[in-house]
Amino acid sequence: MNFSPVNIMGTMPEIYLTVLGSLLLLMEPFVPREKRSWLGLFAIASLFFAMIATIGLNGKGLPLYQGLYIVDPFSNFFKIAIYVGTIITILFSLPYLEKEEIHVGEYYGFLLFAAVGMMIMVSAGDLITLFLGIELMSLCLYVLVGLKRTIHRSVEASFKYFLLGAFASAIFLYGISLLYGASGTETISGLAAFVQNPGALKPMVIGGMILTMVGFAFKVSAAPFHMWTPDVYEGAPTVVTGFMASVGKIAAFGVFLRVFWVAFSANKDHWTWLIITIAILSMLIGNIVALVQKNIKRMLAYSSIGHAGYAVIGLLNPSRESLFALMFYLFVYLFMTLGAFGIVLILRRKGVEGEEIQDFVGLNKKNPMAAFLMLIFMFSLAGIPPFGGFLAKFYIFMAAVHAGFTWLAVVGVLLSAVGAYYYIRVVMAMYMKDPEETVEFLPNRMEKIALFLTASMTVIMGIFPLPFVHYIETSLAILVP
């Protein structure tokens, strides 16, 4: 292993966050309980520091440590999305942790370490490095899901996620071992060169591809590997649920893209129908089951399964258009999902969790601004113009049409129309019904900042998408020239 200055500088963002996250844990015992918000602000400053370092590395592409790690515009795009999503999560967390009386410094440390795991995932040039990144992210999330140690369902959710995550990790690792046994390499570039050889598609390679796809499908909560999602999303602290549903999913899709578009694009005919099956099942199960949910966190959980199905469509054809559509979709999804969970957070008051759709009844009369922001997020998730969610789905479906999967795009549009019902049901509850109580509540200053960021980005990306289009196009050239 060559620890040259080039290699070390290329991984400085990860080093920064690891060191600062460890420092944050050491600081926690010396910070009074009433000033724990300082730790959150320290975590935000750490993320900004790492973001500046990442922007400074935004070059043409830089393989590090003999190809084990890759720093390029593609990975930097996902890293910046991870920074932004984590910062917004911390802004929501500062008042939420006070309300829940679980304001511990370890929370911010685990958020930073989870972000480091995600960064390793999207930059991994080697399947073992990728596995380490996945495990670092997963272990932190297991702890964060069970943060409410006195709440039965939170502990249950953490235990379920841990057990199923362990099975998924074992399956993924077995897939890696099959690929290594067949090819003699675990680097993504080495696998890409191997599968292009005639006769390379042995049963071991096909088996390894299928098992690694199962591992990725679990991480993005795509059907039929989605069964953990509703229970874990409902039981986890709401702020952690939003982080998992948005930032965690983006990181998982980023590495899903790199592995299957770089390593296995030469034999995509062997996994195309698996992707189609996952997409259809995810859209079908996510949208149909969400129709009958009364708990909004479970509804958004099934919604995230449906959105995973839409996003998976972008994996079908290794083309510039498909890659752009998927990256744009994920970027919009980050803001509208965090925003929707943010509105759920601010409804938390006097023992009322704000997790039932019934809690949104008459919200327009209790807090018109919160109701209007929730309307933006619901309409965007439903794919209604002029919000970012509409353009995101439009790009995904057009990429499918141009790739020759018009029928799949039609299925996606029809199921998207079905899914619009449960989003509009929340809007109707806010605007068409009178509240049963007149209790007023106001967002904290940090919550206002986070909601402003998420709502404004959701609107801007739908009305003025050109700057984001240009940025994404410069980030994808490394995979698709």
pLDDT at 434 over 90: no
The letter for the amino acid at 261 is W
- The confidence band for 436, taking pLDDT boundaries of 50, 70 and 90, is low
Highest mean pLDDT (candidates 26-35, 148-157, 296-305): 296-305
Summarize pLDDT for 208-230 with one digit per residue, the tens: 889 999 999 999 989 888 888 89
In a domain, 190, yes or no: no
- Do the domain assignments include residue 42? no
Residue 248 falls within a domain, yes or no?
A: no
Mean pLDDT of the chain: 87
- Contact predicate 336/381, CB 8 Å: yes
Which pLDDT band, with edges at 50, 70 and 90, does 247 fall under? very high
Residue 431 lies in a domain: yes
- The pLDDT score that the predictor gives to residue 481 is 45
- Rounded Cα–Cα distance for residues 414 and 418 (Å): 6
CA distance 151 to 154: 5
Is it true that the peptide bond before 73 is cis, omega within 30 degrees of 0?
Answer: no
- Domains in the chain, number: 1
**Average confidence (pLDDT) over 97-126:** 87
Q: Does residue 233 lie within any of the structural domains?
A: no
CB 249 within 8 A of CB 333: yes
Query: Considering only 244-258, 266-280, 346-360, 456-470, which range has the smallest mean pLDDT?
Result: 346-360
Q: What is the pTM of this model?
A: 0.93
Report yes or no on 384 lying in a domain.
Answer: yes
442, part of any domain: yes
* For residue 172, pLDDT beyond 70: yes
Cβ–Cβ contacts within 10 Å for residue 155, how many?
A: 16
The answer to the question of residue 361 being in a domain is: yes
Q: Tell me if residue 62 falls in helix, strand or coil.
A: strand
Q: Tens digits of per-residue pLDDT, 281-294? A: 999 999 999 998 88
Q: What's the whole-number mean pLDDT along residues 351-363?
A: 73
Q: Provide the domain limits for residue 357.
A: 271-481
CA angle at 417 for the pair 455 and 462, rounded to the nearest 5°: 30
Of how many residues is the chain composed? 481
